[in-house]
Structure 1
Amino acid sequence: MRVPFIKMHGLGNDFIVLDARETALPPMTNGLARALADRREGIGCDQLILLEESDSHAFKMRIFNSDGGEVEACGNASRAVALLHGERAQIETAGGAITLEPAEGGASVDMGAPEFAWDKIPLAFAMDTLNMPVSWSDESGDLDAPMAVNVGNPHVVFFTKDTNTVKLGQIGPEIENDPLFTEGINVNVASVVGDNHLRLNVWERGAGLTRACGTGACATAIAAMKRGLVGRSATVSLPGGDLVIEWRDDNSILMTGPATEAYRGSFEWDDFA
């Protein structure tokens, strides 16, 4: 079975998009997603995105990280899908309904409301998620007193003076897989670099270091807002570029930024199944 795909990216965070809304595809498996994501023997991507029909929304977006695991949300992929869809739509994801709206050069995405309760992250036991009484150490020193927030998927956010001094490639896997985080965690290390301006590096659960993470930018901006470090709208600078995050009065998070279609192609399903 020959299957078309679309290669897209948001700030360098890249995706394979498969559209099963009109032509049904065989069931997606973790192994198939991992094989397609492989950068040496597959097409290569950070996430594989599968679009399907939905009974309750315009359509459904499913997200598989490069390790093959299915996850709840992906902000950068949401903008890419908005660009592809071409019009405002409310869509279904495993992390809840989100609203997409294409804009010049990209899109805005209403990511819904953040969750702060310990059992919504989720954590293994109850604690204050605004200032968590936990720490981890790497060569640059201690990473301590982070904040946890769920923005469709779970994140922990550390604030440091200089994000680039933290060896996130080394300590990220340790934090991601700590038993405290019962479903794993995305790890964000951020610094305040100006008025309403944050710099951010992200270790993404199931994908590793990434040039950009939309939900990470949302989680980090919300954490900074909760701690009074920035106002209700902030620019988040990632290695791949900038996103603007607004925490609106209705409690929803609006993420705005670029998305790009790179190329289109096709593959033989059985070659990767």
Structure 2
Amino acid sequence: MAELRQVHGSDNTFFLLDQTTLGAPLPQTTLIQLAQRLCDRTTGLNGGADGLLVVDAAAQAVGKMTVINADGTLAKMCGNGIRTVTRYLSEKTGQSRFIIQTDQAPLEVHVDRVLAPGVKTYGAEISPVSFAAAALPFAALDHEQIIDTVLPQIHPTFKFTAVAVPNPHLIAFVPEAALTGPELEAIGKRLNAPNPYFPEGVNVTFATIEGPDTLFARTYERGVGFTNACGTGMSATSIAFVLAHPEMAALDRLITVYNPGGMVQTIVHRVDARYWVELIGNATTIALIAIPDQALAAGDFAGAQVALTGEAEQYEAFGRTLPYRDLVPTI
């Protein structure tokens, strides 16, 4: 029997599959089809998810993480997902600080102090970071870098920052009313359809400044659409916060980022010219799922045995204590 885990970070939900436990690893084409079937919000397993996290063996790390979005596209990185993989590998190996290999870089991860009773918490390095047009990529916007800049091609008044972490992100600090207004979805859909500005698409985040070192962020995620939270989005938004609003945030200082699914904490670091972000937040196991190997490979979930852990309710109790919870409804 294969074991899947249904997990979430800030209510950004995933299925987690450790291929080292299978008789043979599944080929990428099968994994992509599996992700699409598992994650479908109507027909998928146990309500679906935002993506599939695949764990494989790695030569110089505890494991390698590959991220497949709900639509079958591959993501360079996933900040909420890597925390759940960190928890899984920490519990599997007994290690509290180690390296996870991603498609872009080896990243240091660790067990962190708990945010609340029953809410297991982990920290992960988010890097590499780049502002270069080629890294996102973007074009036809008349800039080599975009930091707190009006882009009339995108919106007449909002100021944007573009940063790859390494997922590409476009961030604007907006009034609270814009969080649920039409602009975010319109911009997200436009820039993730064929367009001359972000030819490979881009994650779009609107954020409001709620006070010193405090944000609320909402993301339209490439390959997914609206999510309850986007870990790399909140990391990128924290960098933009430090750069665009130094009177409210600073390097090496804890930032709290609320989102429709809860909250995370971030610390933006700079060493010489290199930025990186420490992303701290929950890693919740919703369910343990046993399924025959052949059925898993075929995407047949009829015989899956789903055992709920109760952790989702513990996280929900924590969420009810948070401010700004009602700014945007959860998905």
Q: How many Å apart are 1:216 and its aligned residue?
A: 0.5
Q: Secondary structure at the match of 1:21?
A: helix
For residues 50-102 of structure 1, give each alpha carbon's deviation from its aligned partner in whole angstroms, at most 9, with x where no partner exists: 00011232211000011010111000011111111123221111232211112
Aligned to 2:129: 114
Give the whole-Å Cα distance in 1 for the aligned partners of 2:157 and 2:109. Answer: 35
Q: Which runs of 4+ in 1 moved over 6 A?
A: none
Say which SS state the counterpart of residue 28 (structure 2) adopts: coil
Q: Does 1:213 align with 2:218?
A: no
Give the match for residue 151 of structure 2: 134
Matches of 2:269 and 2:231 in 1, distance apart?
A: 17
Q: Which residue of the partner structure matches residue 190 of structure 2?
A: 174
Instruction: Work out the CA distance in 2 between the residues paired with 1:93 and 1:179.
Output: 29
Please give the residue correspondences for 1:74-89 in structure 2 after superposition, counting only pairs within 5 Å: 74-86=78-90, 87=95, 88-89=97-98
CA distance in 2 between partners of 1:28 and 1:40 (Å) = 24
Contact residue 51 and residue 67 of structure 2 kept, 8 A: yes
1:115-135 Cα shifts (integer Å, max 9, x gaps) = 111111111355332144524
Higher share of residues assigned strand: 1
Q: Which residue of 267, 290, 309 corresponds with 1:266? A: 290
CA distance in 2, matches of 1:143, 1:27: 46
2:102 aligned residue: 93
Cα offsets for 1:177-223 (capped at 9, x unmatched): 33311221000001111111111110010011011111000000101
Residue 5 of structure 2 corresponds to 6
Residue by residue, what CA displacement relative to the aligned partner does 1:144-189 show, whole Å, maximum 9, x if unpaired?
A: 3311001121100011122424323343211333331122100000
**TM-score for both structures, normalised by structure 1:** 0.91
2:261 paired with 1:252: no
SS at match of 1:146: strand
Q: Which has the larger radius of gyration?
A: 2
Contact between 2:168 and 2:202, CA under 8 Å: does it hold in 1? Answer: yes
Structure 1, unpaired ranges of 5+? none
Q: 1:13-55 CA distances to partner (integer Å, 9 max, x unpaired)?
A: 1110000124332213222221121122222110100000112
The answer to whether the Cα contact below 8 Å between 1:47 and 1:64 also exists between their aligned partners in 2 is: yes
> 1:242 is aligned with what amino acid?
M
Aligned equivalents of 1:136, 1:191: Cα separation in 2: 22
Alignment-mate amino acid for residue 77 of structure 2: A
Q: Is the 8 A contact 1:158 1:189 kept in 2?
A: yes
Q: Write the distance in 2 (CA, Å) between the matches of 1:90 and 1:150.
A: 21
Structure 2 residue aligned with 1:28: 28
Whole-Å Cα distance in 1 between the matches of residues 37 and 157 of structure 2? Answer: 34
Tell me which moved more, 238-247 or 110-119.
Answer: 110-119
What is the rounded CA distance, in whole Å, between the counterparts of 1:8 and 1:244 in structure 2?
19
Report if the CA contact (8 A) 2:18-2:56 is conserved: yes
Of 203-212 and 171-180, the range deviating more from structure 2: 171-180
Counterpart in the other structure of 2:304? none
Amino acid at match of 2:268: W
Q: Is the 8 A contact 2:19 2:26 kept in 1?
A: no
Moved more, 95-104 or 167-176: 167-176
1:223 partner SS: helix
Q: Would you say the 8 A contact 1:47–1:63 is kept in 2?
A: yes
Partners of 1:83 and 1:259 within 8 A in 2: yes
CA distance in structure 2 between the aligned counterparts of 1:209 and 1:60, rounded to whole angstroms: 27
Partners of 1:57 and 1:115 in 2: CA distance: 24
Give the conservation status (yes or no) of the 8 Å contact 2:105–2:128: no
SS at structure 2 position matched to 1:252: strand
Distance 2:56 2:297 in 1: 20
Q: Specify the alignment match of 1:151 in structure 2.
A: 165
Say whether residues 1:68 and 2:68 are aligned partners. Answer: no
Distance 2:186 2:270 in 1: 38
Q: Runs of 5+ in structure 2 lacking a partner?
A: 115-119, 301-331
Shift of 1:230: 1.9
Normalization by structure 2: what TM-score? 0.76
